Every structure is written in structure tokens, then in C-alpha cells.
Amino acid sequence: MQDLGRESSAIRRSIEIITLVIAGETVFFLPFVLPRVFRPTLLEVFQLTNFELGIAFSVYGVIAMLAYFPGGPLADRFAARKLMAFALLATSLGGLMLMSIPSFTVVKVLYGFWGVTTILLFWAPLIRATRAWGGAKLPGRAFGILDGGRGLVAAGIGSGAVALFSFFMPDEVQSATPDQRSKAFQQVILMFSGITFFAAVLVWVALGRQSDRGDDSRDEITHDTTLPPKGVRGVLRMPTVWLQAIVVVCAYVGYKGLDDVSLYAHEVLDFNEVQSARVGTLSMWIRPFAAVAAGLLADRFGVARMTMLSLLIFGIGSAVIASGGFRPGMNTFFFATLISTSAAVFALRGLYFAMMEDGRVPLGDTGTAVGIVSGVGYTPDVFMGPLMGFLLDRWPGELGHQFFFAVLTLAAIIGLAASMSFWRMAHRRQQVGI
């Protein structure tokens, strides 16, 4: 009977993490994966400039920044299953509006709406449920699987979307009429909306009522119960939380910077629309392997150490692109740089929330800490879109891309300094047993 119970528990835990992985990525398909993979096409179909698209991202970022703080305590109080399922359903309905190819004003409203659905109702419950799943002994594995799995979902669906888009486009992509391009792109939007709706149903059915409370009682992975909740004021006074927030800011600048790779390939290396979209999906395929590997290595060598290494590689790769050394035909060098830089950025996504264990954040304050760290850490949603648009529109061609990747290099340097401070602080606490 005990063996059957363990087997049942293992199956339930597997279903839980798979569901969190699928939901955790599909909720961002419409606002982020769509423009990342199809940025040149999106700009043309919606008749937007890079700066205007950046403004839409900024609207999302402002709403999200305001939503992170109340969203954290909300996740500590209400059922994750209900919050996440409703958020996914609402997000998918927004996709149906986007499918009508609305005006720029409506696009901005949609991005503000998605800021509420994906952040206020979804983000903190996702992180809290993942931390509870991993426990104190396997934080790296939990968040590595989450982000690596999310990357696998994004890459698989992204590749499918590119194939769908290619199917509805003429054989000679460059000869496509505006109407053909628009109809093909609408099919991609519909696909993303349908998958997001499916994820809402999956969360409601697969997580079940037991997951609403979290399963923190497992003896083999239980959190340190000697850490009582500190409350909002107590968490605000924790220096490790603020250092973690700085790391997230810098890592997220790198993540947002990957939005430029498909356009870079199109404008600098002369790739066509389908080829540049494939470049975007290649970057996404790196994510599952990088995040999972970083999580597993972090549980062995330390989260802070792996974070520092990832920031160093991210900085070097960004500096190489900023140097302007690529020309059409230099594909091998370009792809090697893209793969290493993307691996470092996606490794960071599998690491930076695992830092909570080393930072000694009580489990009961997870939602609050997520709200604070995310509210600060995801501010690039506010400024990176307009900044990217301004640089690319102000200095068309390669020079604008060089300036943009110089910004990424600076972010990597700042993040590396913050992660080193976090490591020293966590190391001292371990030595004195705090």
C-alpha cells in the first residue's frame, strides 16, 4: 500500500509540474512569443513602427509593475488553481480581439489588459506553486524544470506556428501580398489563442483542489519551518530580496533583448521573413536545455555561483554583437554567439527565483517576495520596448542594433556585481548558521 501511495504521489507531482510548465508559458504566447518570433511580420501587418510596438510593451509593463505588488499577497491568500485558470481564459479572449488586426489604440489597450491577466492573477501563484513543489532541497530543479519546460513548450509551439505561417504564405515569401501576409498571421494568432484556452482547462482539471493549498508537508523536500512569515515590512527589510531584484532586472533586460534577434537577422544578415522567424525559434529551442541544466547544476554548485557564471557569458555574448563584427554570410559565427548568449539568458530565468532559498525567504512570504522582486525586476517591460524602438528607428540598420546590445552588455555587468554581493551575503549567513 505504501508503494502504491508513493507511486500515486509521484504521478500527481509529475502532473502538477507539467501543468505548471504548460500554463506558465502559454499565458505569455500572445503578448510576448508572438512578437518575438514574428516581429517583422507583426510590424508590417499592423502597420507599426518599432517605437509604437515598444509603447504597447510599455503599457503592459506599467500595468504589470503596478500589478506585481498586490498580486503577491493575493497569491498567498487565494487558490492558485482558480486564479491561474481565470487568467488564462481571459488572456485567450484577448487574442480573439487581436486577430481582428485592430488599431494601434486597441493594441495598447490589449497589452494593458494582458498586464492584468498575466501578472495580477497569474504570476505570483505560478511561482508560489513551483516553490512549494520543489521544497527547500530542490529549488534549482523546480525552477529549472519550470523555465526549461516553458522553453520547450515555447519552442515547440513557436516552430509549429512558423510552419503554419509558412503554409499559408506563397512559396515565394517575398512576393506575398499584404492580404496574404495578414491572413497567414491571423491563423497564427488564432492558434495561440486556442492553446491558451486549452491551458486554462488543463489547470482547472489537472491541478485539482489539493494543489490550491500547496503540498508543503512532504518530509523529503520540506521547507525550513523555523522561518516564520515576516510580513510585507519584514520582507522589504531583507537586503537579499533587493539584490535578487537587481539580478532579475538585469537578466530580464537580456531576455527582452532576445526580441531583437529575428529583426537583427532580417536587417543585418539579410534573412527573409520565414528565415528570421526561424532564428527566433532557434533561440527559444535553447531555453529548455539551458534552464534545466542550470537548475540541476545550481543544486550541486550553488544558485549564486551559476547565476554569476551565466551573467558573465551573457555579457560577453552581448559585447560581441555590439562590436558590429557580423556581416551577411557569417552564419556560423553568428549562430555560435546567439546560442551561447541565449543559453546564458535562459539559464538565468531558471535560476533567479531559486535564489529565495539562499536568501532565506520564508515559504509563507513567497507571494509577497515574488511581488516585490517582480515589481522591481520586471521594470524592463516598461522601458525596454520603447528604448529598443527608439534606438532601431533613430539609427536604422546595424548601428541601432549595436547600440541596443551595448545596453545589454551594461546590464550584464551590473547584474554580475549584484549577484556577487548576494553570494557573499548568503555565504556569510551559511557560515554563522543564520
Question: Which residue matches cell numbers 504566447?
Answer: 29
For residue 137, give the 3-state DSSP assignment.
coil
Considering only CA atoms, which of 248, 258, 254, 311 is closest in space to residue 283?
Answer: 258
Measured between alpha carbons, how far is 283 from 160 in angstroms, rounded to an integer?
15
Domains of the chain: 2-210+223-432 (1.20.1250.20)
pLDDT at 430: 61
Q: Are 257 and 404 in contact (CB under 8 A)?
A: yes
Angle at 411 between CA 309 and CA 70, to 5 degrees: 100
Considering only CA atoms, which of 431, 378, 363, 344 is closest in space to residue 249?
Answer: 378
Within 10 Å of residue 399's Cβ, how many Cβ atoms? 14
pLDDT tens, position by position, for the chain (434 residues)?
Answer: 555 556 667 788 888 889 999 999 999 999 988 987 888 889 999 999 888 998 998 899 889 888 888 887 787 778 888 899 999 999 999 999 999 999 999 999 999 999 999 999 998 889 888 877 776 666 667 777 887 788 788 878 888 888 888 888 877 766 678 888 889 899 999 999 999 999 999 999 887 654 444 444 443 344 444 455 566 677 777 888 899 999 999 999 998 888 888 888 888 877 877 777 778 777 778 878 888 888 888 878 888 889 999 999 999 999 988 988 777 767 788 888 888 999 999 899 878 777 877 767 776 777 778 788 888 888 887 888 889 888 988 898 888 889 999 999 999 999 999 999 988 887 776 655 55
Considering only CA atoms, which of 83, 157, 90 is closest in space to residue 126?
Answer: 83
Residue 214 per-residue DSSP state = -
Burial of 2 (0-12, 13-18, 19+ CB in 10 A): exposed
Within 10 Å of residue 76's Cβ, how many Cβ atoms? 19
Residues 6+ apart with CB under 8 A from 316: none
pLDDT at 8: 64
Within 10 Å of residue 335's Cβ, how many Cβ atoms? 14
